[in-house]
Structure 1
């Protein structure tokens, strides 16, 4: 296995850049189309966008298409503000609820609170 960069589509006479890797699992009659593999494998096929969309498999075979999940997209500014507001609300609630409980005694970092 050697690492390749800028791999081309495996289809004959196609010069487009590969974006997906097709793997056949013959024992399960399954074709798996997923993200471009890190390494070129001898029994896998690298496909461009056009050929990966036009993929057909033998009758009776299953196709599993694994989509790429973009983990770099992150939360929006609106999401972050909602989280910050929720944290502030919980913090304020905790402070208010603690100040309502009278202390019966204190010794160092320990305190005695009445049981409810």
Structure 2
């Protein structure tokens, strides 16, 4: 249900919130988020939706990335993620760790700069 609400609010063609709302809430444009989502899904199977042992769908890639971003951007505690996204503390922490690892892996060459002399000193 939280995935359906997330999609309805932000990602469906007639979403509740506008592009400006999305940018204000997530600190990035929707197309940047979608690129990030695609990159983390391709780079780490953790961010693909799976089924649990009972056959029910697990958390969606959108939910996992949103939780990780909210924890990083806003410093949101894990217990607030349970209330808003239905994700337990241990899953939130796993998600954040997986997210940070894959971001470094995927983007390090593109965004890492070589140290200058001041850095070396």
Q: Does the TM-score normalized on the shorter chain lie above 0.5?
A: no
- Structure with bigger helix share is 2
Give the TM bin, normalised by the shorter chain: under 0.3
**Structure (1 or 2) with the larger CA radius of gyration:** 1
Please give the TM-score of this superposition, normalised by the length of structure 2: 0.25
TM superposition score normalised by structure 1: 0.26
